[in-house]
């Protein structure tokens, strides 16, 4: 199915303002019902969906390959294995993460108990992109559901997978009632934002992220934005060439380079530069490009015409300014989509667009470097800060570089791996967005923290309540002085010497 056919098929899906209001009316009703359930009950429902998802894996991959254009193994690894791993993590860890927390209570509040509740936000809006249509939709919706939220989910109009998620959710009436899938373009998204969701979770381009943030700011709607990247791979001269070439090539070309964490800049230390690019060229030229495969192709088709145009523009601009094409560089029209051959570039001039703009395609520019400090400065010289990879046998050096990079995640001697671990947070810095998904931090992002302090019901008055007296003021000064003492034994003694008379005085009426 071509992108033109997909667009024509779903042109009637746009929602108007009244329909968007009805969607959120249902979502808020579902959220109220969902608050009455426990995390354990929601985990039980998730187990049903996980089993249905597994049973439907071949059908899911068929739909993903048809609408997205990726090769079948890419679909298996990212859109099947990824969600399965993540749902298993939610099943095993969600109850512990979302449980009420005991919090310490300072000596000055002795006798009280402090707690933190992690409560659902309500009816949230989720908007996802076209590059990982099942991975994003399943991970986000199930995270939000487990946290107790109702979700209005708008997938990309470029890969809507219409009816697929609903079929998966048929396994659980509770989840089906809690997650509404709404189809349409940016116009539909605007109408949904106007309904003032409790929070918006958006993954996609910087341009669209800015528009969503601007509209949400009118209503003070909180946001989590996972936007673009310009991820560097830094290769030092002590690496195993064969393994590192293989890892870098996969990190640049997986999903046809259409990943926010794809390698978009490759820095190779001078000592191995020539040998590395020679092996890289040979391996790149050997990749099998096809998407009508049974699992034996390496790289699939580009998903959207506009993205193909960006890749072509970046390539033409770089070559016009003096860059050399090491391999690839051709766009091929096939019956199942447009195939941009995996491309490696060298000698890229500083003013080339691909040096600072996100490409989001199978285009890998290669650069040389000498020193650790030099490559850190080069890698950080970007508006983006999503993730990076560092390759070296010297793990102390790799750790130094990882700490110095202004990004949200670093894979050492691997690539695009942090997002594969559901225990780790995922998200960017700078123009790559804010907020985190995955891991405990990501799960708690779907909740509102509520501070609770519990005191006994008694006839005792608090020292900071009325009436205020000179004696109370003096005793409070002594208590404050005791609180800043760093010797723990002396601190407890001084607090007791000030606190006990203060508590006694607080029970007396004003003279």
- Segments in 35-103 forming alpha helices (H): 39-55, 57-68, 72-74, 82-98
The pLDDT tens digits for 47-88 are: 999 999 999 999 999 999 999 999 999 999 999 999 999 999
Parallel, antiparallel or unpaired: strands 387-391 and 179-181: unpaired
13 pLDDT band, cuts 50/70/90, is confident
Cα 338 to Cα 46, 59, 425, 430: the distances in Å are 37, 23, 34, 32
Q: What is the DSSP string of 341-402?
A: --EEEES--TT-GGGTS---SSEEEEEEE-SHHHHHHHHH-SS--SEEEEE-S-HHHHHHHH
Question: Could you confirm whether 260 is annotated as catalytic?
Answer: yes
Neighbours of 273 (CB within 10 A): 18
The pLDDT tens digits for 294-325 are: 889 999 999 999 999 999 999 999 999 999 99
**Residue 476: predicted pLDDT:** 93
6 pLDDT band, cuts 50/70/90, is very low
Of the candidates 67, 224, 226, 358, the residue annotated as catalytic is: 226
pLDDT at 5 over 70: no
510 pLDDT band, cuts 50/70/90, is confident
Query: E strands within 129-230?
Result: 150-154, 179-181, 200-203, 223-226
Which DSSP helix (H) or strand (E) runs through 192?
helix 186-193
pLDDT at 7 over 50: no
**Residue 115: predicted pLDDT:** 98
**Residue 334: predicted pLDDT:** 67
Distance CA 229, CA 250 (A): 17
**Residue 110: predicted pLDDT:** 86
Instruction: Select from 406, 408, 311 the least CA-distant residue to 365.
Output: 311
Q: Calculate the average pLDDT of the chain.
A: 95
The pLDDT tens digits for 211-240 are: 999 999 999 999 999 999 999 999 999 999
Note whether 275 and 241 are within 8 A (CB): yes
pLDDT: which is higher, 2 or 91: 91
Of the candidates 71, 260, 284, 327, the residue annotated as catalytic is: 260
To the nearest whole percent, how much of the chain has pLDDT over 90? Answer: 91
**Residue 290: predicted pLDDT:** 87
Which DSSP helix (H) or strand (E) runs through 212?
helix 206-217
The pLDDT tens digits for 242-291 are: 999 999 999 999 999 999 999 999 999 999 999 999 999 999 999 999 87
The pLDDT tens digits for 353-407 are: 999 999 999 999 999 999 999 999 999 999 999 999 999 999 999 999 999 999 9
**Residue 337: predicted pLDDT:** 65
Q: What is the DSSP string of 224-275?
A: EEE----EEEEE-TTS-HHHHHHHHHHHHHGGGG-STTSEEEEEEEGGGHHH
**Residue 292: predicted pLDDT:** 72
The pLDDT tens digits for 113-126 are: 999 999 999 999 99
Residue 94, both tokens: 């969600």
The pLDDT tens digits for 232-245 are: 999 999 999 999 99
Cα 288 to Cα 71, 340, 414, 418: the distances in Å are 10, 12, 22, 27
Note whether 302 and 315 are within 8 A (CB): no
Rounded mean pLDDT, 445-457: 97
**Residue 4: predicted pLDDT:** 45
Residue 443, both tokens: 């799960």
Q: Under 8 Å CB-to-CB from 79, ≥6 apart: which residues?
A: 60, 61, 64, 132, 133, 134, 135
Instruction: Select from 23, 399, 5 the least CA-distant residue to 196.
Output: 23
Question: Could you confirm whether 283 is annotated as catalytic?
Answer: no
**Residue 154: predicted pLDDT:** 98
């Amino acid at each position: 199915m071509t992108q033109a056919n997909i667009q024509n098929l779903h042109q009637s899906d746009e929602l108007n303002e009244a329909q968007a209001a009805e969607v959120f009316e249902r979502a808020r009703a579902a959220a109220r019902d969902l608050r009455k359930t426990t995390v354990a009950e929601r985990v039980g429902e998730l187990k049903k969906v996980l089993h249905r998802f597994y049973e439907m894996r071949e059908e899911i991959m068929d739909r993903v390959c048809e609408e997205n254009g990726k090769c079948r193994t890419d679909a298996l690894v990212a859109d099947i294995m990824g969600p399965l791993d993540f749902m298993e993590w939610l099943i095993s860890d969600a109850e512990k993460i979302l449980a009420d927390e005991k919090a310490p209570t300072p000596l000055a509040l002795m006798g009280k108990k402090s707690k933190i509740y992690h409560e659902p936000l309500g009816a949230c809006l989720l908007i996802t992109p076209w590059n990982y249509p099942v991975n994003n939709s399943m991970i986000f919706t199930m995270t939000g559901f487990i946290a107790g939220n109702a979700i209005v989910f708008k997938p990309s109009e470029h890969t809507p997978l219409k009816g697929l998620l609903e079929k998966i959710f048929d396994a659980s009436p509770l989840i089906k009632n809690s997650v509404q899938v709404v189809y349409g373009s940016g116009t539909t998204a605007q109408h949904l934002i106007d309904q003032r969701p409790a929070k918006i979770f958006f993954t996609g381009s910087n341009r669209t992220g800015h528009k969503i943030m601007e509209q949400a700011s009118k209503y003070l709607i909180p946001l989590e934005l996972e936007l673009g990247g310009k991820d560097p791979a830094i290769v030092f001269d002590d690496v195993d060439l064969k393994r590192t070439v293989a890892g870098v090539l996969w990190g640049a070309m997986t999903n046809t380079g259409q990943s926010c964490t794809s390698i978009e800049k490759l820095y190779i230390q001078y000592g191995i530069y020539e040998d590395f690019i020679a092996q890289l060229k040979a391996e790149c030229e050997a990749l099998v490009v096809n998407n009508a495969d049974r699992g034996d192709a390496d790289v699939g088709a580009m998903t959207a015409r506009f993205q193909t145009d960006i890749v072509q523009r970046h390539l033409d601009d770089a070559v016009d300014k003096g860059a050399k094409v090491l391999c690839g560089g051709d766009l091929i029209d096939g019956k199942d989509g447009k195939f941009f051959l995996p491309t490696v570039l060298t000698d890229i001039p500083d003013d080339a667009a691909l040096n600072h703009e996100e490409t989001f395609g199978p285009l890998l520019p290669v650069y040389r470097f000498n020193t650790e400090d030099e490559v850190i400065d080069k890698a950080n010289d970007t508006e983006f800060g999503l993730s990076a990879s560092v390759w070296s046998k010297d793990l102390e050096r790799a750790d130094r570089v990882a700490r110095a990079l202004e990004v949200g995640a670093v894979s050492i001697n691997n690539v695009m791996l942090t997002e594969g671990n559901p225990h780790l947070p995922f998200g960017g810095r700078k123009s790559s967005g804010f907020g985190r998904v995955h891991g405990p931090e990501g799960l708690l992002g779907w909740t509102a923290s509520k501070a609770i302090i519990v005191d006994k019901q008694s006839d005792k008055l608090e020292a900071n309540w009325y009436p205020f007296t000179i004696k109370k003021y003096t005793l409070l000064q002594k208590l404050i002085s005791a609180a800043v003492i760093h010797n723990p034994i002396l601190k407890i003694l001084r607090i007791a010497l000030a606190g006990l008379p203060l508590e006694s005085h607080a029970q007396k009426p004003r003279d």
